[in-house]
Amino acid sequence: MVRISVDLMGGDHGPSVTIPGAALALERHPDIRFVLHGLAAECEPILEKYQPLKQASTFVPAEMAVAMDEKPSQALRQGRYRSSMWRAIESVKNGDADVCISAGNTGALMAMSKFCLRTMANIERPAIAAIWPTMRGESIVLDVGATVGADAQQLIDFAMMGAAMSRALFAIERPSIGLLNVGVEEIKGNEEVKEAGRLIREANMPNLAYHGFVEGDDLGKGTVDVVVTEGFVGNIALKTAEGTARQIAQYLRSAMSRTWTAKLGYLLAKGAFDRLREKMDPGKVNGGVFLGLNGVVIKSHGGADADGFANAVDVGFDMAREGLKARIEHDLNFYHSRRVGASDADTKSGEQDKA
């Protein structure tokens, strides 16, 4: 049984989407048990329409909801202990749930998650990992917005966390890792990226395969299983990809409705266009995973419909079932223990040289 805590008030549409989305996820995964958090007056009438979900859930009333445009500091100050978002996260901290799902304010969700759950040992900053559709399937890209700027060690931590997520979500035994850069040559890029490449190559981790540097076009190609970057660049890449997908969709709609022959061609190729639309739909790969915390938190797209929110719940289900947190802790402990051992060996060698 997987226990999932849900902030019902999050997103552009609140419980009118999150409750049907949770109900749909329950149909796919009957072994989920939900802990639902929200304003009783808004949530309970909708929940009555979904009796299987109600029977598989515990509803915990909240006093307030975090607004989508609220500043993280304000949300943390006013919503701590009282909001549906905080209480959904706190259910994970208290052991009442295995994972938290929210479509709410990203900044507020990250601030509350960091404050409530804290970061793992040896992790300075968490990351948001996105599932990215590619020409050969799906890959993982992180960080897409949690950390603006990152040093070499933080990039290596992101790589290990992304590899653990890839193994849990895609069952890839040794995921390939690429550092996003302005070129694939080792002499290109800023010093932090070049240093991260050197260190991760020397670490020779058994649970990941370091590919080297990758460029922006490698994101869509699916050149590697995990693409690592800092949050400023990653967030721009994510928003650019989403905007490009909408732009192409609009171009197609305009072209297909321009003439009667175009309309006829659309009807003849409707099946192909439907598959293309499904492939480009952001909701199909919905669910950003907050990595590096003492608990699993999933951020659903704020504008997702019920099906999109259900997909975010699916991601949370897989992360909890596959023990994502334990996988990350294992890899981090292994890496840092080797790092400390190597440092001690270098120190002893230096002392012997002096003697």
pLDDT in tens, 23-74: 999 999 999 999 999 999 999 999 999 999 999 999 999 999 999 888 888 8
Residue 344 has pLDDT above 60, yes or no: no
* pLDDT per position as a tens digit, 249-272: 777 778 777 787 777 776 777 776
Torsion sign over Cα 236, 239, 242, 247: negative
pLDDT band at 122 (very low <50, low <70, confident <90, very high): confident
List the domain boundaries for the chain. 1-118+293-322, 125-285
Of the candidates 235, 189, 173, 233, the residue with the CA atom closest to the CA atom of residue 197: 189
Torsion sign over Cα 195, 196, 198, 199: positive
Q: Which fold has domain 125-285?
A: Isopropylmalate Dehydrogenase (3.40.718)
* pLDDT per position as a tens digit, 149-185: 888 989 999 999 999 899 888 888 899 999 999 988 8
Measure the CA–CA gap between 231 and 219, rounded to whole angstroms: 15
The more confidently predicted of residues 333 and 285 is 333
Q: Would you state the pLDDT for residue 352?
A: 56
Mean pLDDT, all residues of the chain? 86
Fold agreement between 1-118+293-322 and 125-285 = yes
Of the candidates 117, 221, 201, 118, the residue with the CA atom closest to the CA atom of residue 159: 201
φ and ψ at 344, to 5 degrees?
A: -65, -40
The domain 1-118+293-322: what is its CATH number? 3.40.718.10
- Give the mean model confidence (pLDDT) for residues 178-196: 88
122 neighbors 210 (Cβ within 8 angstroms):
no
The more confidently predicted of residues 278 and 246 is 246
Helix axes 324-354, 152-170, angle to 10 degrees: 140
Which spans in 29-124 are helix H? 40-47, 51-55, 72-79, 84-93, 106-117
Q: Would you state the pLDDT for residue 283?
A: 57
- Give the mean model confidence (pLDDT) for residues 225-231: 93
Residue 351 has pLDDT above 70, yes or no: no
pLDDT band at 295 (very low <50, low <70, confident <90, very high): very high
The more confidently predicted of residues 100 and 355 is 100
pLDDT band at 337 (very low <50, low <70, confident <90, very high): confident
138 neighbors 296 (Cβ within 8 angstroms):
no
CA distances from 48 to 8, 43, 54, 88, 139 (A): 14, 9, 7, 20, 38
Residue 294 has pLDDT above 80, yes or no: yes
Residue 343 has pLDDT above 60, yes or no: no
Q: Would you state the pLDDT for residue 291?
A: 92
112 neighbors 86 (Cβ within 8 angstroms):
yes
Measure the CA–CA gap between 288 and 275, rounded to whole angstroms: 23
